Amino acid sequence: MADSYDAVVIGAGPNGLAAAITLAQAGRSVVVLEANETIGGGARSAETTEPGFVHDLASAIHPLGMGSPFFSGLPLHEHGLEWIVPVASVAHPLNNGEAAIAWHDLHQTAVELGEDAAAYRKTFDRLIENWDDVTDFTMTRLTRFPRHPMLMLRLGLAGAAPATRFAKSRFATEAARALFAGHVAHSLLPLSYPFTSTFGLVLGASAHTVGWGFPKGGAQSLTNALAAYLESIGGEIRTGTRVQNLSDLPDHRAAIFSTTPAQVGEIARERLPQHSRLWMRRFKYGPAAFKIDFALSEPIPWANPNVAHAATVHVGGTLKEIATSEKQMSSGVPPTKPFVLLAQHSLFDDTRAPQGKHTAWAYCHVPNASRFDMTQRIQHQIERFAPGFRDTIIAKRTWSPAELEASNANLIGGNVGGGSNRGSRVFLRPGIKIIPYRTGNPTIFIGSASTSPGAGVHGMSGHHAAREALATALR
């Protein structure tokens, strides 16, 4: 490592790597310091159960990565990245062997929803038609004036409704309501909260535009491609380097933290104004994940065979059941019948398991830092829609919120979303600020899932933070 750089990036997750690439592309010298021995943060994969079974440690499905305006402009395929996009984006099994499927094809999805075909089309048609503008707006820092204000106003007005109300008033069938509710539950908010419909609208539309795909070989392949490209343009990465104090950093003109505000407040405390330290300390974290990696002897035996056409399965039953699960979680109670997010990559990617064998990635939302073991409840929910599932389990590895935090210091209390989504933080992250990436010290920036546009593997927060540094400290 050299003694001096234009910029130091703390953390080699998707946002840290995106920040470093943005800086290196602009001709600045940059080094990324990563606490773990492996790079990727929330985009890592490893054999956590049995040899030959490759599991994603956090993120598993990447519509945001595939649709990221920043990642899309990088030559990642030249560095080994290959997206796999199943014909169905999301499957949502229901009772009695029924299932709602969000096929990549809008028409097929609508037709299968029968009575709700026209309502489904009406809900998503315009968003799909204007998908580039929707992406442009949602992937920016959201404090910028939108390029198409009328479209965004319409999205804002429709999305302002609580999801339960929207789903009941828009759709007549249990299938369409449940499908919508499954998308909304990614918000980590109770479905009765204002603006939760926005998640159902945007994620629902993404199912029919970019599709819900993932990198061949696991989330690690995306990370490895980002790192290889960064190194090809002169950036450096150093692993096994936990930054605890600014004095741990080599000489630099700008430091970009792809960590949470609490970590920035701790590490940079001597160089931050008091008001910054205060908001960083008070920054609120949100719900956690309880996760299980499964090694399976065969594919999951779904009662409805169409469920095998999607890599992503929303396992939670009806709108009412999903709303109850997320409400319990939000009131500090481990859900009795949890909404389970499940990915079955090995049906589409034969690099993920030994021949004939399979993997499953499953997690549910629990209160922050919960110690409750959700293993039986998660397995019970899967078994409900796939009788015989338990008999297919060869091995499993569970991850409590505390274990998730031990594997990645950004996951405070096991927090999935880089901070709470409540109140204005659903859109304005880390808080109500014109430039979300500034910290109060003109040489220190923050660009992580805690800043706009928020959680997910898209790299946009890191990219925006780096651009802010280039426009100011590194001008």
Residue with smaller CB distance to ligand FAD, 176 or 225: 225
Q: Can you say whether the dihedral through the CA atoms of 289, 184, 127, 138 is positive or negative?
A: negative
Minimum distance of ligand FAD from residue 43's CB (angstroms): 6
In the block, residue with structure tokens 């649709």: 67
223: Cα within 13 Å, side-chain hemisphere: 27
Residue with smaller CB distance to ligand FAD, 162 or 338: 338
Q: Which amino acid is at 395?
A: A
Residue with smaller CB distance to ligand FAD, 10 or 24: 10
Beta partners for 340? 315, 364
Minimum distance of ligand FAD from residue 409's CB (angstroms): 4
Minimum distance of ligand FAD from residue 458's CB (angstroms): 7
Residue with smaller CB distance to ligand FAD, 33 or 295: 33
The H or E element containing residue 181 is helix 174-184
Q: Which residues of 157-180 are buried (b: 16+ CB within 10 A; e: fewer)?
A: ebbebbbbebbeebbebbbbbbbb
Residue with smaller CB distance to ligand FAD, 173 or 398: 398
CA angle 65, 71, 74 (to 5 degrees): 150
Residue with smaller CB distance to ligand FAD, 340 or 416: 416
Minimum distance of ligand FAD from residue 9's CB (angstroms): 9
Minimum distance of ligand FAD from residue 78's CB (angstroms): 22
The Cα–Cα gap between 150 and 156 comes to: 10
Residue with smaller CB distance to ligand FAD, 62 or 104: 62
Minimum distance of ligand FAD from residue 133's CB (angstroms): 21
The Cα–Cα gap between 293 and 252 comes to: 40
Minimum distance of ligand FAD from residue 315's CB (angstroms): 14
Q: Which residues, 6+ apart, have CB-to-CB distance to 48 below 8 Å?
A: 55, 57, 293, 397
The gap between the terminal CA atoms of the chain, to the nearest Å, is 24
**Which chain residues interact with ligand FAD by CB under 6 A?**
10-16, 33-36, 41-43, 58-62, 64, 242-243, 258-259, 263, 289, 291, 363, 404, 408-411, 416, 418, 448-449, 455-457
Minimum distance of ligand FAD from residue 412's CB (angstroms): 10
Token output for 421: 């989504």
Minimum distance of ligand FAD from residue 66's CB (angstroms): 10
Cα separations in angstroms, 197 against 37, 164, 300: 39, 8, 31
Instruction: Tell me if the bond preceding 338 is cis, omega within 30° of 0.
Output: no
Q: Can you say whether the dihedral through the CA atoms of 146, 148, 154, 158 is positive or negative?
A: negative
The Cα–Cα gap between 256 and 258 comes to: 6
Residue with smaller CB distance to ligand FAD, 162 or 447: 447
Residue with smaller CB distance to ligand FAD, 31 or 243: 243
The Cα–Cα gap between 66 and 346 comes to: 19
The Cα–Cα gap between 286 and 412 comes to: 9
Residue with smaller CB distance to ligand FAD, 33 or 175: 33
Minimum distance of ligand FAD from residue 28's CB (angstroms): 19
Token output for 42: 């929330």
